[in-house]
Structure 1
Amino acid sequence: MNLRTPRARTLAPLSRVAAALAAAGCTAAFAQGALTDPVLIAQNLRAPTLAETVVAASRTPQPLADLVADISIVDRETIESSGATGLADLLGRLPGVEFARNGGPGSTTSVFLRGAETRFTAVYIDGVRIDSQSTGGAPWESIPLGLIDRIEVLRGPAGAVYGSDALGGVVQIFTKRGENGFAPYISAGAGTHGTRKIEAGMSGASGTIDYALGLAREESKGFNARPIATQNPDRDGYRTTAGHARVGLQVNAAHRLEGTLLANDTHSGYDNGLGKDDRSLHTLHALGLNWLAQWSTAYKTRLSITDSRDEYETRPSPYLTETRLRGYLFQNEWRVGAHLLSAALERREDHLKNAPIDRKRSQDGIALGYGFNAHGHTVQLNLRHDSDSEFGGKSTGSVAYGYAITPQWRATASVGTAFRAPTLYHRFSEYGLATLRPESSRNAEVALRYAQGASSFSATLFRNRVQDLISFAGAGTCASPFGCYANTARAEYKGVTFAGTHRIGAVQLHGSLDLQRPRDLDTGKQLARRARHHATLGADTRLDAWTVGAEVQASGRRFDTAANTAVLGSYTLVNLYASTRLARDYTLLARVDNLTDKDYQLARNYATAGRTFYVGVKWAPQ
């Protein structure tokens, strides 16, 4: 069984460096001039503009300045310059985010927001819910980074907005939308381990039609992901083929129809013992149809029908699991002056086929929201009730308040509840119990944030307690003599996140430091594969025609097991990147990851890539 969870402890001296950066950003803040409006800046690899809107916090576009939430934004420019090999690698450079992986890209991957379980993050692609009713949580290894245009990461529970799954946070992923004119692009690159990438696409708009199409292909010979005596000493490579389409029709000034499609097919190799080389075949698709209507200056609606499929198969060792998710959402918004009221009706249908399991369930939800933003005060209230066809009803709520102390400084506080329904595998497999209860959480957090020009700083203190945590316990009333899933555990995710950006001359700095304690409340043990400290520190600047940068990632000691018996050592990674425009329409990107060739593990007895190089060229007419 692949474990989808991480954790850690002591940190290298980078912790002090990142803290110093945060303090420097804070000190520099007092020396800056004033902003005209109070804002909440989301921490990122770049500073977002004040006019940016985000969707993740309330499921409807809102100005960044109106939010009382801990959010990061990653745009396409940042994705391309990162040179990241996968979505999890990119997210792992953001505040409050860790990941673990069983080998190289294409293998089982877990992402942890504020130390919470990977199944506690709700993931959407263009509004389409992505999840596995087998393992629980999104199949991160099957989401193609090359087709993503924008990512929003909301840290903290959001059950009162999204219903089941969002105990730890929400990740909203968006593909490109067509704009005026015709914009084609082609990019190709190569790197260590025989890695080759090619991406191509086009977007544009003409009259009432806008469109965006994209294709991506990546393959690699890989490296020996299982360097132990009981496994084959061969390379475990992968290949992915992905595509997306997004087409919109502006019927008139008030009505828009839109369809989105993303599909990805991943084949990756893994060792299943000596002389046993297996292939994992992973297919993901996400389809969405949307009707957006602006009925008046104050009232608008959104009607969405979504469908996703996650299929995982292994050969020649026989295993097949398929999750189908269907969603229906009718969202209403009324804006009157500084007040925003919302009401949503949602139906979710889950279906799992994992022989001999062939089960379905549904959830019907109603959500109400109220927002206010004026005179330096921001209020956000949300209430939701979900009725599950299997276990009955569940209510969640949240209250958030923000106050602009000065035009630059803002304080926020929030409390909220969330839940995650047991997966169909948890309930109906040979290890399952049909009587499992939903996992539920209570979260409280306070934050202090600063924003001024290219400088920002935030300190966020949080505590999230989970009851009825589902874990694999000893033998019980299920069919398996080896053990059963049960609501036996309680967990607490608490800590503080510091993040900041600041410009010194021509150099832009960014960094974050997470001090956390993800633990099992019953045993007192640190949760598996999660660190108690992790940090990032980066800088970039212009040198003649080149943009050059460096970043450092550090993580403290983690444990590979819930019993804290197998130690995963701390590590520090150094990455370098550079880009330049070769000609008017051509851009060169070069990157070195893990410059010092650090030997480290994200999961016990699974190797990581070591030092890697990548060079790519992109053609995009200006």
Structure 2
Amino acid sequence: MNLAPRSHGAGQRRRARALAALPLAIGGLGAAAIVQAQPNLGTAPQLPETVVTATRTEQRLSDAVADISVIDRATIERSGAEGVADVLSKVQGIQIARNGGLGNTTSVYLRGADTRFTAVFIDGVRVDSQATGGAPWEAIPLSQIDRIEIVRGPAAAVYGSDAMGGVIQLFTRKGEGAPAPYVGVGVGNRSTYKAEAGVSGSSGGFDYSLGASRDQSDGFDVRTPNVAHNPDKDGYEQTSGNVRLGLQINPQQRIEGTLLQSYLNSGYDGFVYDPSAPVDDRNKYWLRTAGVNWSSQWTDVWRTKLSVSDSSNRYQTDPDFYRTETTIRDYLFQNEFRFGSHLITADLERREDSLNNAATQFSPELDRERSQNALALGYRFMQGAHTLQLNARRDDDSEFGGKTTGSAAYGYAFTPAWRATVSAGTSFRAPTLYQRFSEYGVAGLQPEEGTNYEAGLRWTPQPSSSLSLTAYHNKVKNLIDFDYSATGCQSFFGCYTNVGRAQYEGVTLAGTHRIGDVSLRGSLDWQDPRDLDTDKLLVQRARVYGTLGADVRVGTWVLGAEVVASGKRYADAANTQVLGGYGLLNFTASTPLSDGLTLLARVDNATDKDYQLVRNYATAGRTLYVGLKWAPKL
């Protein structure tokens, strides 16, 4: 039993860490994993791909030293996925966990690291929980996301706390050019319905993007028959919307504002069940992110960006009442100084977190806050075949004091097609306010700390073909675990302590290739996420997983198939309860019906494979979806 609050109902949420872990064995890239060589079945020339997440400064993807993947909107739409985590599960180095269907506790494991070790942003706005730690993946609406950037490996020297395993940043649509309206509808089995509409564009110096969506499904029974539970279907309904506005005041000055809101109501099955009086247990999520940015090019050398952002993540269960809300306010002042081949960055950042847990019959109200002030410095040098990236950051926390992190990375292109990279970095994760100040908390908890080393080799003989091999070793100490045997705790159940050590190491092989009208993609991950104190594998993370997929153009149709496979995992820390490996077969098909109107069809788990990702929790089985999207070019 885990007493962390983010679970299904007061009782279930207290078991979140014991249940919220599982690898949706993917490792791969799905129709999107490595956009460095994203399959392109069209013929239009592609502009160089740019990213901002690796260092918070814009750079070409091909120049980045970090291990990065990019997922674009076309890939998201072709995936037919219900949630953000389902899209991420097709990217190399990522496994996901979910207690049943969409809207239930979801974890994303980047290179095997716990979900709280990935820093998550939406349009530059940090999203996190000061209850359990980690982003509320189940609450993020995929329909509002236009692009995803994934940085594998610690990035605390850039982003501070949380980025021990990596960074995932999600972007909403940005308006460009003539007005671009769109309307989409879709249906699937289990009475699944989706509807979306929006418009984006730009005029003069003003750009805009607005979108709204509604998703709902009857779902399926998320628990397996061998456990006592309410055998009802655990469906969901989600309503979301976003606005992104920008104004280019002049060539040197730009202001931009973003707003995203989502409400999700989903079913789950609690641990207590009375057949004579069954109840419909519900999760309710409210997610809001908002940000304002002012970018200025003061001289040819000096550029600044001033950002103020705010996020609110509220979770509540009914009728078994539990409520928690995390609010994060962030102030960021970025400076870039460019001198030929040299880029120097200096960032000042202030982060303010607050947590409010409502009182229940089991626990008193918790209302606490904290702040962190930081200075981050960076240096990038690019000349010829050489790329050097150095970063250092100092964070001062209002509760535990200061923490300094650093990283160094070097890339060398020894031929136009071959490039090697090496890097090393330190990282940390500050204890959550719940871990410090709840009835199970210890105010003196220290940050979790990590040290990572990695090396990579990439071969890109042509834009449509690539092959990469990356090896990494990430060691974490001061892991915060719940210790039932600890003494001197407020609760007789025990409390949180810095007692754990873990090691995340592995090798990832990934590639893409195009032969005529056929685009191939695939990846394979070998990893060893291990508890160093017990020498056991971490729960619900497979040692081997991967994907293999192909897309082919036949007339106006683009047909796709992919295999997702995973080795066995363990459901318990003692590695005695085995969850068997599995293989899934998925198909997609899309075609334009007329100007601006596109048909998409998808079959996931075509063989209706019966498998479990979390012990005693069911998976969806065969899933069918057909959608139409109208996006005329005006």
TM-score w.r.t. length of structure 1: 0.94
**CA distance in 2: counterparts of 1:171 and 1:500, whole angstroms:** 21
**CA distance in 1: counterparts of 2:221 and 2:513, whole angstroms:** 40
The answer to whether residue 340 in structure 2 is matched with residue 337 in structure 1 is yes
Q: Which amino acid aligns with 2:172?
A: T
Q: Which amino acid aligns with 1:285?
A: R
Q: Which residue of 2 aligns with 1:250?
A: 248
RMSD: 1.8
Deviations along 1:533-552, one digit per CA (max 9) or x if unpaired, are: 11011000101110000011
SS state at 1:181 partner: coil
**CA distance in 2: counterparts of 1:354 and 1:417, whole angstroms:** 32
Q: For 1:412-491, list aligned pairs within 5 A.
A: 412-451=421-460, 452-476=462-486, 477-491=488-502
SS state at 1:136 partner: coil
Q: For 1:116-131, list aligned pairs within 5 A.
A: 116-131=113-128
Tell me by how many angstroms 1:43 deviates.
Answer: 6.3
Q: For 1:200-599, list aligned pairs within 5 A.
A: 200-228=197-225, 229-272=227-270, 273-274=272-273, 275-355=278-358, 356-451=365-460, 452-476=462-486, 477-599=488-610
Contact 2:193 2:217 in 1 (8 A): yes
**CA distance in 2: counterparts of 1:46 and 1:321, whole angstroms:** 44
Tell me by how many angstroms 1:619 deviates.
Answer: 0.4
Percent identity of paired positions between Structure 1 and Structure 2: 59
SS state at 1:352 partner: strand
Q: Which residue of 2 aligns with 1:151?
A: 148
**CA distance in 2: counterparts of 1:277 and 1:567, whole angstroms:** 30
Tell me by how many angstroms 1:41 deviates.
Answer: 7.2
Tell me by how many angstroms 1:351 deviates.
Answer: 0.1
Contact 2:39 2:464 in 1 (8 A): no
Tell me: CA distance 1:72–1:261, structure 2 relative to 1, closer, same or farther (3 Å): same
Which is worse superposed, 188-197 or 266-275? 266-275
**CA distance in 2: counterparts of 1:593 and 1:110, whole angstroms:** 20
Tell me: CA distance 1:41–1:101, structure 2 relative to 1, closer, same or farther (3 Å): closer
Aligned residue pairs total 597
Q: Which amino acid aligns with 1:6?
A: A
Tell me: CA distance 1:82–1:45, structure 2 relative to 1, closer, same or farther (3 Å): farther
Contact 2:36 2:49 in 1 (8 A): no
SS state at 1:77 partner: helix
SS state at 2:281 partner: strand
User: 1:187 is matched with which residue: 184, 187, 199?
Assistant: 184
**CA distance in 2: counterparts of 1:99 and 1:534, whole angstroms:** 12
**CA distance in 2: counterparts of 1:5 and 1:446, whole angstroms:** 30
SS state at 1:271 partner: coil
**CA distance in 1: counterparts of 2:35 and 2:280, whole angstroms:** 48
User: 2:92 is matched with which residue: 86, 92, 95?
Assistant: 95
Tell me by how many angstroms 1:505 deviates.
Answer: 2.6
Tell me by how many angstroms 1:44 deviates.
Answer: 5.5
Tell me by how many angstroms 1:449 deviates.
Answer: 0.4
Which is worse superposed, 474-483 or 536-545? 474-483
Q: Which amino acid aligns with 1:377?
A: H
Q: Which residue of 2 aligns with 1:36?
A: none
Deviations along 1:350-378, one digit per CA (max 9) or x if unpaired, are: 00001321000000000000001112000
Higher relative contact order (CA 8 A, sep 6+): 1
**CA distance in 1: counterparts of 2:345 and 2:86, whole angstroms:** 35
**CA distance in 2: counterparts of 1:41 and 1:131, whole angstroms:** 26
Would you identify which runs of 4 or more consecutive aligned residues in structure 1 move more than 3 Å?
A: 4-9, 40-50
**CA distance in 2: counterparts of 1:101 and 1:46, whole angstroms:** 31
Unaligned runs of 5+ in 1: 20-39
Tell me: CA distance 1:138–1:385, structure 2 relative to 1, closer, same or farther (3 Å): same
Contact 1:188 1:616 in 2 (8 A): yes
Deviations along 1:556-600, one digit per CA (max 9) or x if unpaired, are: 111122222222111111000000001112000000000010111
**CA distance in 2: counterparts of 1:603 and 1:7, whole angstroms:** 6
The answer to whether residue 21 in structure 2 is matched with residue 6 in structure 1 is yes
SS state at 1:90 partner: helix
Tell me by how many angstroms 1:504 deviates.
Answer: 2.1
Tell me by how many angstroms 1:408 deviates.
Answer: 0.2
SS state at 1:457 partner: strand
Contact 2:39 2:519 in 1 (8 A): no
Q: Which amino acid aligns with 1:597?
A: D
Q: Which amino acid aligns with 1:264?
A: S
Contact 1:268 1:279 in 2 (8 A): yes
**CA distance in 1: counterparts of 2:404 and 2:112, whole angstroms:** 24
SS state at 2:332 partner: strand
Contact 1:321 1:354 in 2 (8 A): yes
Q: Which amino acid aligns with 1:421?
A: A
Contact 1:41 1:450 in 2 (8 A): no
Tell me: CA distance 1:87–1:270, structure 2 relative to 1, closer, same or farther (3 Å): same
SS state at 2:86 partner: helix
Deviations along 1:115-156, one digit per CA (max 9) or x if unpaired, are: 000000000000000001011100001111111110000000
Q: Which residue of 2 aligns with 1:37?
A: none
Tell me: CA distance 1:556–1:50, structure 2 relative to 1, closer, same or farther (3 Å): farther
Q: Which residue of 1 aligns with 2:78?
A: 81
Q: Which residue of 1 aligns with 2:109?
A: 112
**CA distance in 2: counterparts of 1:141 and 1:8, whole angstroms:** 15
Tell me by how many angstroms 1:234 deviates.
Answer: 1.0
Deviations along 1:508-535, one digit per CA (max 9) or x if unpaired, are: 0000000000000110010011110110
Q: Which residue of 1 aligns with 2:625?
A: 614
Tell me: CA distance 1:45–1:427, structure 2 relative to 1, closer, same or farther (3 Å): farther
**CA distance in 2: counterparts of 1:536 and 1:95, whole angstroms:** 8
Tell me: CA distance 1:540–1:497, structure 2 relative to 1, closer, same or farther (3 Å): same
**CA distance in 2: counterparts of 1:455 and 1:43, whole angstroms:** 6
Which is worse superposed, 561-570 or 264-273? 561-570
Q: Which amino acid aligns with 1:374?
A: Q
Deviations along 1:305-329, one digit per CA (max 9) or x if unpaired, are: 0000000001111100000000000
Tell me by how many angstroms 1:45 deviates.
Answer: 6.6
Tell me: CA distance 1:371–1:166, structure 2 relative to 1, closer, same or farther (3 Å): same
Tell me by how many angstroms 1:226 deviates.
Answer: 1.0
**CA distance in 2: counterparts of 1:60 and 1:514, whole angstroms:** 29
**CA distance in 1: counterparts of 2:205 and 2:594, whole angstroms:** 33
Tell me by how many angstroms 1:473 deviates.
Answer: 1.4
TM-score w.r.t. length of structure 2: 0.92
